[in-house]
Amino acid sequence: MPEAPLLSVRNLRTWFDTDRGVVKAVDGVTFDIRAGETLGVVGESGCGKSMTALSIMRLFRSPPGRIVEGSIGFEGRELTTLSKRDMRSVRGGRIAMIFQDPMTSLNPVHRVGDQIVEAILLHQDFSRVEARERGLRMLTEVGIAAPDRRFREYPHQLSGGMRQRVMIAMALSCNPRLLIADEPTTALDATVQNQIIALMNDLKARYGTAIMFITHDLGVVAETAQRVIVMYAGKVVESSGVEPLFERPLHPYTVGLLASRPSDQAILERSKLDDIQGSVPNLLDLPQGCSFHPRCPRCMPRCSVEAPPLFAPELGRAVACWLHEDGRGREGDPA
Amino acid sequence: MTGFLVRRLLQTLVTLFMVTVITFVLCQVLPGDPALARAGSEGASKELIEAARKDLGLDQPLPVQYAKWMGAMLTGDFGLSTRSRVPVTELFAQRLPVTLEVLVFAVIYALALGIPLGVISALYANTWIDTTGTVIAVTGVAMPQYFQGMLLILVLSVWLGWLPASGYVPPSQGLWANLLGMVMPAITLGSVVAAEVMRQLRSSMLEVLGEEYVQTARAKGVSESGVILRHALRNALIPVVTIIGMRIGRLIGGIVVIEVVFSMPGIGQLLMNSVLNNDFPVVQAGVLMVAVVVTLINLVTDVSYMFIDPRIRHA
């Protein structure tokens, strides 16, 4: 009997009412995260991956945004209907989040240490002195040298990599069970990126924190995640273990994403990268049928008429594409 | 940080020197002859006027007059009023407390009203609450102060009889009466600042609320009031401080009108009477004092940045 997942998102729809119509930023997303695992969430900008994360945290602007349908189960509780007060104790306490740009995600007018201490005092029954000790220990944990000095400094006195380390220290200071990392390395230099990824993998191993790792970089996914979901236009189009996904991607969109990565060979030969034709569709004016069909190299007549449900052609994998219709029968089975 | 302070202080000194020169020159080109005023009337004899001129030191070349004036001022001697023969310092000492009191209450009123309203309008942006705030603010800025003052007198004193229409009661003769007398002048003087603080804070608050660190704070589980007060407001106030600084400087100009409308025996009234009487030593000292105060307020504004914004402190 498998253990119940830590986070279980079912058919989540987060829509935004705008002057020009309803934007279905998240439209029927289903996935699980098990305790201690890293789930990679991949897709182009605007595919709904960040909005899925913000929906879990209930941090999107409302109005105009609203969760129209679906459920978010976390540690046996339903987050979509949780009171504001209880939701606040989940935020930062049980689910922590770090963001893309460490240059802007720390408050410029407060000392680094005070920002960490604030988080600790919100969720743990510590005295200020204990919170300070805990904060200093967290800074050491994330590999910041001279934590005593850094503790008293302001964010602008730290480099980008250091600020992201501070964000991670702050996020993990309350022992959350889930860490949502929204493109945490995108704004960093390549070398710093690798350090941060190594740090996150290391901390995950030590703390057993599950991670929802949002990125558009498949290379990062390969280094961090055990399972992946690929999103397109507010929907999950493929979900799979990491290795099978890289070995044999099922959805034509995933195939395109993988092909557009620069391989070592391609870099050596200075050949042009393959890219996916066209661009992300306007969420206000989605194509009929499968949202990807206008860009799909393997588009069939029915793709422009009928949106494909999730098929499960292999154990532990799901894909929303008519090419894999023969996998019907395990339809809707979350991977 | 020390470098910034030293640079800023030097700038202030240069500004102050320019102010003394301009003040001096202005008094030279003003129409009217203090010697004539001193000698008495239009009918005074030539000899009497010349004697008055010599007595006042106005027969000497301008640079000499300026040097003497500056030298005396630096030792705290601003001369005698040409009209009343009372030392200028004494005249100011009597009237300064009145003006300062109005000014302080006006600023307190402006901040106590402008900051909460600015925050509230930002939180309820584009709702009827925000619109109402905007209408009030625009009215506050657009209505001339003397008109606002007279409206207040009409409603609060003449119709309702709640407040004294004008005049000043020193605190020594009754603290309550003194405070009552301050209400309308402070409101009239402070309303423009309140309105500007509110509008500026509304827009900077809206900007700050969209910043990522505000989202970080929410993601930490900080309560909404904590997010607004601890994380957003402090950042949003940084641009507002400039407005407050600049505006307090201009308030001092507005105080002349206020003191005349509400018959308050402050610096503004003294200055106006002195200009009408060609009382140059008083005018010079008054203009100079206003300029010094404005310059110092600008200095304080710049320095206060360092306390609010650590990025400037460490630059």
Cα separation, A142 vs A184, in Å, equals: 14
Question: Is A152 an interface residue toward B (CB < 8 Å)?
Answer: no
The owner of tokens 């979509």 is A80
Give the whole-number percent of chain A exceeding pLDDT 70.
93
Give the least confident one: A205-219, A254-268, A296-310, B79-93. A254-268
- Locate the DSSP E strands across B151-204: none
Residue type, A152: R
pLDDT of amino acid B71: 87
Q: ∠ at Cα A151 (A147, A155), nearest 5°? A: 115
- Structural domain spans, chain B: 1-83+280-315, 100-276
pLDDT of amino acid A266: 61
From the list B218, B234, B314, which residue is nearest A91 (CB)? B218
Q: Mean of the pLDDT values across residues A57-67?
A: 87
Reported as a pLDDT band with limits 50, 70 and 90, residue A333 is very low
pLDDT of amino acid B136: 85
Cα separation, B278 vs B283, in Å, equals: 8
Reported as half-sphere exposure (CB side, CA atoms, 13 A), residue A143 has a value of 14
Q: Mean of the pLDDT values across residues A4-33?
A: 90
Beta carbons within 8 Å of A267's beta carbon, 6+ residues apart: none
Question: Is B31 an interface residue toward A (CB < 8 Å)?
Answer: no
Q: Please give the structure tokens belonging to residue A177.
A: 């069970």
Query: Residue B228 carries which DSSP code?
Result: I
**Coil, helix or strand at residue A148:** helix
Cα separation, A229 vs A312, in Å, equals: 14
Cα separation, B148 vs B155, in Å, equals: 11
pLDDT of amino acid A263: 66
pLDDT of amino acid B74: 84
Nearest residue of B to residue A111, measured between CA atoms: B310
The owner of tokens 């030298």 is B71
Entry field: residues in chain B: 315
Chain A environment of B216 (Cβ under 8 Å) = 97, 99, 105-107, 167
From the list B216, B309, B310, which residue is nearest A99 (CB)? B216
Contact B219 A123 (CB under 8 A): no
Reported as a pLDDT band with limits 50, 70 and 90, residue A268 is low
Reported as half-sphere exposure (CB side, CA atoms, 13 A), residue A110 has a value of 24
Chain B environment of A135 (Cβ under 8 Å) = none
pLDDT tens, residue by residue, A115-171: 999 999 999 999 999 999 999 999 998 888 899 999 999 999 998 889 989 999 999
Q: Using an 8 Å Cβ cutoff, are A119 and B221 in contact?
A: yes
Instruction: Sheet with A38-42: list strands edge to edge.
Output: A95-98, A178-182, A210-215, A38-42, A227-232, A235-241, A318-319
Q: Mean of the pLDDT values across residues A285-290?
A: 84
Q: Mean of the pLDDT values across residues A235-255?
A: 91
pLDDT in tens, chain B (315 residues): 677 788 888 988 898 888 888 888 887 777 777 777 666 666 677 787 788 777 777 778 888 888 888 888 888 888 888 788 889 889 999 998 999 899 999 999 999 999 999 999 999 988 899 999 888 888 877 888 888 888 888 888 888 888 887 778 888 888 888 888 888 889 888 888 899 899 999 999 999 998 999 999 999 999 999 999 999 999 999 888 888 888 887 888 788 888 888 888 988 889 888 888 888 888 888 888 888 888 888 888 888 877 788 887 776
Q: According to CATH, what is the number of the domain B100-276?
A: 1.10.3720.10
Q: Using an 8 Å Cβ cutoff, are A102 and A48 in contact?
A: no
Residue A215's region, left for phi above 0, alpha for psi from -120 to 50, else beta, is beta
Helix (H), strand (E) at residue A17: strand A7-18
Q: Tell me how close the Cα of B308 comes to any Cα of chain A, in angstroms.
A: 7
* More confident call, B43 vs A94: A94
Q: Please give the structure tokens belonging to residue B6.
A: 């030293």
Residues 255-284 of A with CB under 8 A from B: none
Cα separation, A237 vs A217, in Å, equals: 17
Reported as a pLDDT band with limits 50, 70 and 90, residue A1 is very low
Q: How far is CA A187 from CA A13, A163, A183, A184, A261, in A?
A: 29, 11, 8, 7, 18
pLDDT of amino acid A334: 45
| Mean pLDDT, chain A, whole residue set | 87
Beta carbons within 8 Å of B224's beta carbon, 6+ residues apart: none
Residues 290-309 of B with CB under 8 A from A: 308-309
pTM of the model: 0.80
**How many CB atoms neighbour CB B19 within 10 A?**
17
**Coil, helix or strand at residue A178:** strand
* More confident call, B214 vs A21: B214
In three state form, how does the secondary structure of B106-126 look?
A: HHHHHHHHHHHHHHHHHHCCC
Reported as a pLDDT band with limits 50, 70 and 90, residue A40 is very high
Cα separation, A53 vs A140, in Å, equals: 28
Contact A109 B234 (CB under 8 A): yes
Beta bridge partners of A65: A16
Question: Is A63 an interface residue toward B (CB < 8 Å)?
Answer: no
pLDDT tens, residue by residue, A71-92: 999 998 999 999 999 999 999 8
Instruction: Answer whether the bond into residue A64 is a cis peptide, omega within 30°.
Output: yes
